[in-house]
Amino acid sequence: MLFSEPVFVFLFLPLLLLGYALTPRAAQNTLLLLASLLFYAWGEGFFVLVMLGSIAFNYLVGLLLEAGRGRRRLRPLALLLGVAGNLALLIVFKYAGFLVTNLNLLLAGLKLPALPVPALHLPIGISFFTFQAMSYVIDVYRDRIPVQKHPLRIALYIALFPQLIAGPIVRYQHIARQLTRRVVTRPGLAEGIRRFILGLGKKMLLANVLAVPVDKIFAIPAHQLTTSVAWLGVVCYALQIYFDFSGYSDMAIGLGRMFGFRFLENFRYPYLARTITDFWRRWHISLSSWFRDYVYIPLGGNRRGPLRTYRNLVIVFLLCGLWHGASWTFVAWGLFHGLFLAIERLGGWAWPDSWRRVAP
């Protein structure tokens, strides 16, 4: 079920808003969790069990981290288990086919028999809810947040439907209080509805309309493309993906506001950026800040000299490219951005405040 589908706009959302308003406050989280699971199962069916498994696993890892306080070996092992388990989930469902396909190329060169390529369904939103779960585990280990001992609350954090399928990636620390204490006011509800309509307009009236010329231009054989038509396709595609991604973020932020949640902004006019670095301050902020806090800074950030900084940037955006999709195209995309960020750093361009943090 997508936010732009009639069944969501005219059936699911109105009924949920009505039910939420009539439900006692003590039971509202339960209602939202059940609605979120129904929302996910509507399109994914059996694969809702994958998300439930992720919820149970990360809840137990959090308890294990809490039980390991004062025991030096247990907490690092629990963290390793949590990170490895979440990454394994992504690798199995998102990257297994890509890895086996490329391994078969190597085996063919060695004249060895090929392995069967797994054809696994990719559960929608798995990258988003896995990164949210992983950030929870890491932040509990770092003592930035207390462990959540109430299973329903950690389940709602991971499964909450507004940000489940297309982000933004929500950190537990940003909504921890809202999971237990939040109030829906008339101004807040009106603000959420306006934001949702804005995002829906971006998606339906702009992104979907721009997709028409994009699909037609991209279907033209390369040898038949003129320079002007190629540039038209590039510009239309750039606008299409912006209005699509930011539209879904607007809808998610608006939906969250309708139920009393305040999510952080995810896009801030990225095409007004003056540099690639500035662009990543504005584009998919929740993703770039996630990689900053959980990959770039642990690698050393910019503390260990320029060569290490350039290496860290390339690694971060290589992983960022792979996060977007399991193909060499996304690997090249990530390397492109990582190299240009390194070149900007080397050339002395201004470094954004949000990336000036260094490793502890």
**What does the DSSP assignment read for 162-197?**
GGTTT-----HHHHTTTTTS----HHHHHHHHHHHH
Dist. CA 333–CA 318, nearest whole Å: 8
* DSSP secondary structure letter of residue 226: -
Contacts of 78 (CB under 8 A, 6+ apart): 61, 64, 65, 68, 141
Cis before 360 (ω within 30): no
Q: By CB neighbour count within 10 A (0-12 exposed, 13-18 middle, 19+ buried), where does 324 fall?
A: middle
Cβ(39)–Cβ(164) below 8 Å: yes
Structure tokens belonging to residue 253: 């932020």
Active site residue 174: no
CB 106: neighbour CB atoms within 10 A? Answer: 9
Marked catalytic residue, from 121, 284, 324, 337: 324
* Helices marked H in the chain: 6-7, 13-22, 25-44, 48-67, 74-90, 96-109, 126-141, 151-159, 172-175, 186-201, 208-218, 227-258, 276-282, 285-291, 306-324, 328-347
Cβ(285)–Cβ(293) below 8 Å: no
Cβ(340)–Cβ(273) below 8 Å: no
Dist. CA 249–CA 270, nearest whole Å: 14
Dist. CA 100–CA 114, nearest whole Å: 9
Q: Among all chains, which residue has been given the structure tokens 């879904």?
A: 248
Dist. CA 156–CA 122, nearest whole Å: 22
Q: Mind telling me the catalytic residues?
A: 324
